[in-house]
Structure 1
Amino acid sequence: MKPITKKQSRYRPLLFLFFGLLAMMAVGTVCSLKWGQTYVSWRTLYEAVTYQGSEKAHLYIQTLRLPRALMACLVGMQLALAGLLTQLTTKNPLASPHVFGINAGAALAVVAGLVLLPQSHGGNLGLIGLAFAGATLGAVLVWSLAGSGSKQYVFIALAGITIHFLMSSLTEGLIILNQAATDSIMFWLVGSLTHAAWTEVRVILPFFVGGIALFVFMLPSLKLLLLDDEMASGLGQRILIVRGVSMVLVIVLAGSAVALCGPIGFICLLVPHIARELVGGSLNVLAPVTALLGGVLLVFADFVSRFLAFPYESPVGIVTALIGAPFFIYLALRMRGVRG
């Protein structure tokens, strides 16, 4: 019998964590399929997911609950990776697309399309196009206001918060001007998976696959973002190009998610920090753990949101805010204590 090497003993906990997160995601998906406003037996659930029945209960699971659970997994993974990339790019542990104006820009563009062009925004793909345009506008404004120099990363935070509140105010103004759609738009703005269907899953899937593929391809270059800019430049690396591609990837991941499910808060900020506490800062391990944690957190948050005001639905963003806001305060106090 061969002795266990140090390398094998180091990887065993990581493999256990990896498969544990996959198991948790599977459990969350099953819970999402089984429990809700309508009672579903285990037999009916099995027949529905294996497509062995065509009764009303089977169709209810196949057309409503199943795509909603899959959407939660995909969107959670996208938002978590977008948060990780934002923190790497800006070198700010409190950074996220939500705080830095990207989500607010996407939300403003989508709401503007829904309010001003209700019949001609082009469906889900049109909304994603609007979200990309709004997210790009937000990111460009933040980076333009931040300028360059040694204090750029400090100014990025200030500019991001400013742009976020500006675009959020414009969004609220558009909603006030269109009272007819206020309820549905406000529900979407908090972040909701209620209307997720197979159409939305098919639309977001190419962005999910393409974003993950680009992230994996960029992984060796993304490690440069962990270094000081001068050191990376001294090694002959084009750090500005890497940072630019990273922000484009953030826009793709966060923009497509916001367009279909609204600006779900705190997933981008919360999940990367939890992943770092579990596995450290190595990107080869941190990235997949972050993605899986995002999917797990959102699928369970969506499940819990169904029972907050039962039998009525609540936006999933309420649950993520209840979890994320105290964690954000804790993180800010912790950082202040470390600096002190």
Structure 2
Amino acid sequence: MGYSDKKQSRIWPLLFLFSAFILVMLIGILCSLKWGQSQVSWQTLFEAITYQGNDKAHLYIQTLRLPRAIMACLVGIQLALAGLLTQLTTKNPLASPHIFGINAGAALAVAVGLVAVPHFGNFGLIGFAFVGAALGALLVWSLAGTGNKQYVRLALAGITIHFLMSSLTEGFIIMNQQATDSMIFWLVGSLNQAAWTEVRLILPFFVGGVLLFSLMLPSLRMLLLDDEIAAGIGGRIHFVRGISILLVIVLAGSAVALCGPIGFVCLIVPHIARSLVGTNLTILGPLTALLGGVLLLYADFLSRFIAFPFESPVGIVTAAIGAPYFIYLARKQGGTR
């Protein structure tokens, strides 16, 4: 079998894999549009998504369920790519923006914004989230320093900053008694308030982040090598790592600002994708993004039925899935070492 035959034999399984997950995502979107607090018929659903009707049921799907499903896909893709970039940048398979202080920093900044400027718009909260995410990342990297033990110190510093900022966030929530319930709901991670306004706000960050990630794919391969080897072949490893961290801040910060710090999506999705296709970033990146959208879409769908007919934060579902998987990964990594 020649090289071209081997290459073609690998393409068909990958096409089937991507096609299967795209189909799963489309099915998830249909389920998200049809089932929830109020039932709708298939005919009503078809009329709503094709904009052939404008009664109450059609408007309910068009203005509430449809943007919520789209938001779940966009945020899931952003968080999954942010997790993959964090793991590549830190060379730590258990790393994620949530663990390394980026999500906690964004959450703290948003909580401060909600307390200090309660009537600030969502676009302003995104700005607060960026500042907080950058502050969290800066603190972690400054505490980790440089040297052979940097990646070990990154984990310790990240956990420390995460708990510090989480405690400060809880303090600001206590100070703002009037918005305690809504802020706690947001801190767990929720898509309940997603509407077309939020979709339009996050769309530029989503498009810009995904486009920059795609353009950086050739350079990101250097992060798979040791720093000495990458520098030896002429790679600008520090520049690539810096751009990667900025991209994580953009992807994770905008998602946290609008939907709260949804946990574990950043951590588990890259591992699932890596177990399916390996470490080839050309394939791993798109599959990670696709799986992130699928996971958060179905997690949001399941969250509607935890306390039916009342809504539950999607972070409850992702935590229920992610916590056991994180324990499994930690034990696996420990056993490997």
Query: If the TM-score is normalised by the length of the shorter chain, which range does it land in?
Result: over 0.9
1:50 aligns with 2:41: no
Report the equivalent of 2:68.
Answer: 68
Report the equivalent of 2:245.
Answer: 247
Report the equivalent of 1:141.
Answer: 139
Match of 2:236 among 234, 238, 258: 238
Alignment of 1:98-113 (within 5 A): 98-113=98-113
1:85 aligns with 2:85: yes
Report the equivalent of 2:128.
Answer: 130
Alignment of 1:285-324 (within 5 A): 285-324=283-322
Report the equivalent of 1:17.
Answer: 17
2-side partners of 1:255 and 1:298: how far apart?
17
Report the equivalent of 1:169.
Answer: 167
**Deviation at residue 5 of structure 1 after TM alignment:** 1.8
1-side partners of 2:214 and 2:36: how far apart?
36
Show structure 1 runs of 4+ deviating over 2 A. Answer: none
2-side partners of 1:113 and 1:84: how far apart?
29
2-side partners of 1:51 and 1:161: how far apart?
48
2-side partners of 1:294 and 1:67: how far apart?
17
Question: Could you say what secondary structure the match of 2:261 adopts?
Answer: coil
Report the equivalent of 2:274.
Answer: 276
1:116 aligns with 2:108: no
TM value normalised by structure 1: 0.98
- Name the amino acid aligned to 1:20: A
**Deviation at residue 117 of structure 1 after TM alignment:** 1.1
**Deviation at residue 88 of structure 1 after TM alignment:** 0.0
1:261 aligns with 2:255: no
Report the equivalent of 1:160.
Answer: 158
Report the equivalent of 1:226.
Answer: 224
1-side partners of 2:334 and 2:142: how far apart?
28
Per-residue CA deviation, residues 285-332 of structure 1 (Å, 9 max, x unaligned), is 000000000000000000000000000000000000000000000000
Structure 1 spans left out of the alignment, 5+ residues: none
1:35 aligns with 2:35: yes
TM value normalised by structure 2: 0.98
Question: Could you say what secondary structure the match of 1:5 adopts?
Answer: helix
1:7 aligns with 2:7: yes
- Name the amino acid aligned to 2:29: T
Per-residue CA deviation, residues 96-127 of structure 1 (Å, 9 max, x unaligned), is 000000000000000100011102x3x11101
- How many pairs are equivalent? 334
- Name the amino acid aligned to 1:88: L
**Deviation at residue 178 of structure 1 after TM alignment:** 1.0
2-side partners of 1:17 and 1:76: how far apart?
19
**Deviation at residue 337 of structure 1 after TM alignment:** 1.1
1-side partners of 2:114 and 2:40: how far apart?
35
Alignment of 1:182-197 (within 5 A): 182-197=180-195
2-side partners of 1:223 and 1:155: how far apart?
23
- Name the amino acid aligned to 1:271: V
Report the equivalent of 2:213.
Answer: 215
2-side partners of 1:94 and 1:262: how far apart?
21
* Percent of aligned pairs with the same amino acid: 75
Question: Could you say what secondary structure the match of 2:53 adopts?
Answer: coil
1-side partners of 2:60 and 2:233: how far apart?
57
